[in-house]
Amino acid sequence: MIRLSIQARQALARLTLPVLILASFGLMLLGKADTLLAEKLRSSLADGLAPIYRALADPLDHARATWNDMIDLWTMREDNARLRAENDQLRRWQSIALALDAENQRLKASLHWIPDPTASYITARVVADAGGQYAKAVLLSVGPNHNIRKGEIALDDRGLVGRVTEVGARTARVLLLTDLNSRIPVIMETSRAHAILIGTNNIRPRLVYWAEGATPKEGERIVTSAEANAFPANLPVGTVHYAANGVPEVEPAAQLNKLEIVRIFDYGQNGLNGPEPIASADAKPSAPRPAPLHITPATH
Amino acid sequence: MAWIDRRPGVRPRPSLGRRLDVAARVSFPAGITVVLMLLMEVPLGITGQSALLPAVTLCCVWFWSLVQPQYLPPLVVFFIGLLLDLLAYFPFGVGTLTLLCCHGIAVAVRRSIVLRGFGVIWLCFIPIALAAALLMWLLVALLMFRLLSPAPALFQAVVTIVLYPALAVPLGAAQRSITSPERV
C-alpha cells in the first residue's frame, strides 16, 4: 500500500465526493448514450434476484390470503346477498350467451368460417414491481428454459395487462397498459370505431384519436384492434369512463394494482384470435376480421 | 484496517474471529441499507409501493451519514445509488447524484445537529427529503425528456418524511449495539 502523508490523504478524502458527483453526471450521459447497457444490467440483476423474490412470494401469499379470509368472514352476510342477486342476473346472461353462441356457430358453419389458430401461452407469477415511480411495469418469474419473446402479450383472468418489453434468462418485464409509454390500438365495441389508448402513469389510461362522430360512450367496452399487427383483435381492455374534466378514460378490465398471475400469449405474427372471444351483446355479425400478415385498412 | 482498530487503546489480538466481527460491524450500515432496498421490491400489494424504495434508501443514507459517516463513505453511497437506479428503474445517475448530495449535506451539517436530538434531525430531514424528491423528479423528466406529473414526487417526499422515525428508531438501536458497541 502506498503511504501518503496525512495532508494528502485528507485532500484525497475531500476530493472523493466531488469526483463521484461528476461520475454521476458521467453515468447519466452513459445511460443516455447506451440504453442497452442499462437494460442488460437490469435484466441480469432481476435474474439474480428473482429466486429470492420467488421464495418470498409464497409466505406473502399466505399472509395475504389469511388477511383476506378475515375480512371475508366479516362481510359474509352482505356478500351472500349480493352474490345471490348477481347470480340471478348472470343466469339470465348465461342463457343469452348460450343462445348467441349457438347462433354464432350456425352462422360460422354456413359461412365456412376458418377458425383462427388458438394461441399458446405460458402462465407466470408476478414477483416484483418493475416500474418504479415514473413507469408502470411488473417483473415476471419464468422458467430458465422459456421461449418468451419481446412483444408478446400479457393478460390476466379479466383482460389485457400489457406487453413484454424485456426478457432475461429467467425473468420477463411486462410494460403495463397504464405506463406513460404505452400506446395500444383499440376498437370501441358498439360503434366499432378505432382509437388509441395512451397510458398516463395514472390508474386509467386515456382514449384519443377516435374518428369524428364516434365519440366514446360512458360504459362502452373497449377491445384491442389488430391494426399494425401489434395485438390480436378483440382482447378485452376495459370500459370507457369519463373523468371529471370530460376526458374519456378507460377503466382497465385487468386488475392492474393486484396482479399475481399473468398469462403470456404467443400470437406469433399471424395469430390474431383472442384466447377468449368476446360474446358480443349485439347479434349481428361484427366487422370482418382483418387477414393476417398485412397492415389492415380501416374498416369504417 | 478498520476505523475501529485505528484508535489508540488496549484491545484484543486481531485474530480471524475478531477481524470478521469488526468487518461485519463495519459493513452493517451499507448491508442493512441494501437488504432493506431489496425487501422494498417484493410485491406487498400496497398502492404506491414504488415510493417506498427511494424513501427507504434516502432515510438510511441520511441516518448513517449523520451518525457514522466513516462506515458509509461516498464510494459506498455511489454504489447504493447505482443499485437504486437499477431497482427503481430510474435513468442512470439519478439515484447516485441524489444520494451523494444527501450524503454530502449530512456530513457537512452533522457536527451541528447530531447531538441536538431526534427532533432536530427529523426537522432538518424534511427539506432534504423534499429537495431529493424534487431533484429526482427533475432529473427523471430531463433524462426521459418528458413532462411528468409532480404528484409521485410529492408523494415520495411525504412517504420519506413519515417513514424516517419508523426507520431511525430501530437503526439507532442497531447502531448502539452493533456498529459502536464500545460506547454503551
Q: Would an 8 Å CB–CB cutoff place A12 in contact with chain B?
A: no
Q: Would an 8 Å CB–CB cutoff place A134 in contact with chain B?
A: yes
pLDDT band at A283 (very low <50, low <70, confident <90, very high): very low
CA distance A206 to A204: 7
For the ranges A7-11, A32-36, A78-82, B9-13, the lowest mean pLDDT is seen at: B9-13
Backbone angles phi, psi at A162, to 5 degrees: 165, -155
Which of the residues A133, A200, A258, A261 would you substitute to probe the B interface, choosing the one with the greatest number of B C-beta atoms within 10 Å? A133
Closest to A224 in 3D by CA, of A162, A300, A294? A162
CA distance A33 to A22: 17
Question: Does residue B5 fall inside a structural domain?
Answer: no
Closest to A127 in 3D by CA, of A45, A63, A52? A52
Indicate the helix (H) or strand (E) that contains B168.
helix B151-174
The alpha carbon of residue A216 is apart from the nearest alpha carbon of chain B, in Å, by 26
The alpha carbon of residue B115 is apart from the nearest alpha carbon of chain A, in Å, by 23
Which of the residues B49, B85, B90, B92 would you substitute to probe the A interface, choosing the one with the greatest number of A C-beta atoms within 10 Å? B92
CA distance A137 to A154: 11
Average pLDDT value over all residues in chain B? 87
Do residues A138 and A126 lie in contact, with contact meaning Cβ atoms separated by under 8 Å? yes
Does position B12 have pLDDT exceeding 80, yes or no?
no
Non-local (6+) Cβ contacts of A59 within 8 A are none
Convert the pLDDT of each residue in B39-72 to its tens digit: 888 777 777 788 899 999 999 999 999 988 888 9
Provide the sign of the torsion angle of the four alpha carbons A218, A222, A228, A233, taken in this order: negative
CA distance A173 to A277: 26
Question: Does residue B6 fall inside a structural domain?
Answer: no
CA distance A71 to A79: 11
Question: Does residue B1 fall inside a structural domain?
Answer: no
Tell me how many domains chain B contains.
Answer: 1
Name the more confident of A88 and A58. Answer: A88
- Please calculate the CA angle B14-B15-B20 and round it to the nearest 5 degrees: 90
Do residues A103 and A283 lie in contact, with contact meaning Cβ atoms separated by under 8 Å? yes
Average pLDDT value over all residues in chain A? 83
Which amino acid is it at A92? R
Which residues on chain B are in Cβ contact (under 8 Å) with A31? 91-93, 143
Non-local (6+) Cβ contacts of A200 within 8 A are A178, A180, A206, B149
Q: Would an 8 Å CB–CB cutoff place A214 in contact with chain B?
A: no
CA distance A87 to A68: 22
CA distance A172 to A58: 19
- Please calculate the CA angle B13-B17-B19 and round it to the nearest 5 degrees: 70
CB contact under 8 A, B139 and A28: yes
- The whole-number pLDDT of residue B5 equals 58
CA distance B168 to B174: 10
Question: Does residue B120 fall inside a structural domain?
Answer: yes
The alpha carbon of residue A164 is apart from the nearest alpha carbon of chain B, in Å, by 16
Alpha helices in A34-122 (DSSP H): 35-74, 76-111
CB contact under 8 A, A133 and B51: yes
Convert the pLDDT of each residue in A186-209 to its tens digit: 999 888 899 999 999 888 999 999
Count other Cβ atoms within 10 Å, centred on residue B177: 11
Question: Does residue B155 fall inside a structural domain?
Answer: yes
Do residues B93 and A27 lie in contact, with contact meaning Cβ atoms separated by under 8 Å? yes
- The whole-number pLDDT of residue B42 equals 79
Secondary structure class of A238 (helix, strand, coil) = strand
pLDDT band at B34 (very low <50, low <70, confident <90, very high): very high
Dig out the grid coordinates for A242 from the structure. Answer: 369519463
Sole residue written with cell 352474490: A83
- The whole-number pLDDT of residue A197 equals 94
Closest to A256 in 3D by CA, of A195, A205, A297? A205
Strand A248-252, strand A183-188: pairing: unpaired
CB contact under 8 A, B92 and A38: yes
pTM of structure: 0.80
Strand A160-167, strand A153-155: pairing: antiparallel
Question: Does residue B28 fall inside a structural domain?
Answer: yes
Which amino acid is it at B13? R
Convert the pLDDT of each residue in A222-232 to its tens digit: 999 988 788 88
The alpha carbon of residue A56 is apart from the nearest alpha carbon of chain B, in Å, by 8
Share of chain A above pLDDT 70, in %: 88
Do residues A141 and A124 lie in contact, with contact meaning Cβ atoms separated by under 8 Å? yes
Secondary structure class of A203 (helix, strand, coil) = coil
Does position A45 have pLDDT exceeding 70, yes or no?
yes
Does position A34 have pLDDT exceeding 60, yes or no?
yes
The alpha carbon of residue B92 is apart from the nearest alpha carbon of chain A, in Å, by 5
Distances, alpha carbon A37 to alpha carbons A27, A34, B86, B131, in Å:
11, 6, 11, 29
Does position B6 have pLDDT exceeding 70, yes or no?
no
Which of the residues B49, B89, B156 would you substitute to probe the A interface, choosing the one with the greatest number of A C-beta atoms within 10 Å? B89
Which residue segment(s) compose the domain that B72 sits in?
15-183
Does position A273 have pLDDT exceeding 70, yes or no?
no
Question: Does residue B116 fall inside a structural domain?
Answer: yes
- The whole-number pLDDT of residue B1 equals 47
Question: Does residue B176 fall inside a structural domain?
Answer: yes
